[in-house]
Structure 1
């Protein structure tokens, strides 16, 4: 590594620290450069989000959610990665966030029931995500876990299990938000995640 390149990296690092961590203060001179501003965009948070969106695009462009694709994506997760799955047939979504020691499984209802929307006076209040379960990465990395998880999501994605749903009404997401959560709870524990 050349001295100029090392000096440039140090300048960029100082720029990031100054603009993210340090309290706001008036600068004596402008430290703006295109390279410095670009470095703020490349801070670690963007990479996992881009990977999540790429994986989600793969799922959205395929005709159905396949267990093999879910299995492959779960097996390839690393700390900091996020996966999102829309389970349209169950009106639910599942989000996985892998941390250093555990993976958080969050689920939530995608569309509120029509009656709740129609009865709402003003804004309809919803909390996202729904239940969240933290499972040790040693369990998630077990060779039997990803294929079974993928198989479950694949079946839930293709099977309309609630024949009593009337046309124009949304499906209750209990097969994901309750059944899947209870199954995952056997392997982990509830996780306190921030809600919006």
Structure 2
């Protein structure tokens, strides 16, 4: 039902971007994509359509109103080259109880989540992309706690024109400019130098902004969770920036977890992955990538076997997996038949074009008669066997033992 309503007019290149960053297949690009902005927008577009479809078909929970607003704001902020102070201030003013705003501050490698709880606005920040060194040194996935520091500011303080204006301009500046003091560092020839391939330190958001907000608010305890982060640092040319998993995708997932909670978040991720799989099947994505996506979706459902997955979501995911498997199986059968036809077709063409079966199965050895006759007169005698007598000197005299 939901699959029929899921449509997304995105280019094939953008769809491949979504597959790489959502499913993380084994074969990935070896340098950063040139169309990151278009890929991130396509990812948000698919996510927005999925959240809207999920709310209409599978959940009557009022929290989905906040989720749709959250994803919609992500789309608005990312479609603009920078978050203007006016745009940010307008989004904050219209927040209602339990509503949230998520911002990916890419220039500072930071994620910022603002959520209104009754008469307070809670600010939480965290690192959007782990350091390259941490990713390459990790044997398995990284285990990171989210979100970071949390500061609650009274709502009447937040909507104060002076405070909101200063806060909006700060966010705009952080979103627009990359500060060299926070740039990644690396060791070269014994010296610590700026390293473009290393992640930026989020200090100006996670430390500076947090410190400023602590002066007008107070620290609060929020529900935190441990997340296993899968990321890669891939490049085949040292002069090009490496491929890294989308930091926007991590910020979005953390924001969704904060708003939805653990169970609903995981259920929605199953639904979203199923929708991307269905779209990929319709768009003719290569079979090897469909196989990996199918396997990861099936594994995601299996990991939630002890939880009460809504029946409609489970049926939706099973249908996506079964249809993909059927398509892969049909493609393999067609490939197998075409190979057999080509093989026998080429053999019959060669056979019928003058090849003689009798001539090719008779071997004539014209110079072998004398050699075969001589084999009858060869004298074969058994070699005489000699008794084995070791010549090595014993290291231990057995008489003295």
TM-score using structure 2 length: 0.38
Which of 171, 179, 182 is the equivalent residue of 2:211?
Answer: 182
Matches within 5 A, 1:1-196: 41-162=59-180, 164-165=183-184, 166-196=195-225
Q: Which has the higher contact order (CA 8 A, sep 6+)?
A: 1
State the Cα RMSD in Å: 1.7
CA positional deviation for 1:51? 0.7
Aligned residues: 160
CA distance in 2, matches of 1:71, 1:126: 31
CA positional deviation for 1:148? 1.2
CA distance in 2, matches of 1:124, 1:80: 30
CA positional deviation for 1:191? 1.3
Residue 87 to residue 39, structure 1, CA distance change in 2 (3 Å)? closer
Deviations 1:46-96 (A, max 9, x none): 001101111111001011111110011111112121001110000001100
Q: Comparing 155-164 with 125-134, which one deviates more in the overlay? A: 155-164
CA distance in 1, matches of 2:90, 2:125: 20
Return 5+ residue gaps in structure 1 as ranges: 1-36
CA positional deviation for 1:39? 8.6
CA distance in 2, matches of 1:125, 1:160: 27
CA distance in 1, matches of 2:80, 2:98: 25
Residue 38 to residue 53, structure 1, CA distance change in 2 (3 Å)? closer
Kept in 2, the 8 Å contact 1:132–1:191? The answer is yes
Q: Comparing 96-105 with 118-127, which one deviates more in the overlay? A: 118-127
CA distance in 2, matches of 1:62, 1:187: 30
Instruction: Indicate the SS of the match to 1:125.
Output: strand
Instruction: Indicate the SS of the match to 2:97.
Output: coil
Instruction: Indicate the SS of the match to 1:122.
Output: coil
CA positional deviation for 1:138? 1.4
Kept in 2, the 8 Å contact 1:70–1:146? The answer is no
CA distance in 1, matches of 2:141, 2:198: 20
More helix per residue: 2
TM-score using structure 1 length: 0.77
Kept in 2, the 8 Å contact 1:113–1:169? The answer is yes
Instruction: Indicate the SS of the match to 2:146.
Output: coil
Q: Comparing 90-99 with 73-82, which one deviates more in the overlay? A: 73-82
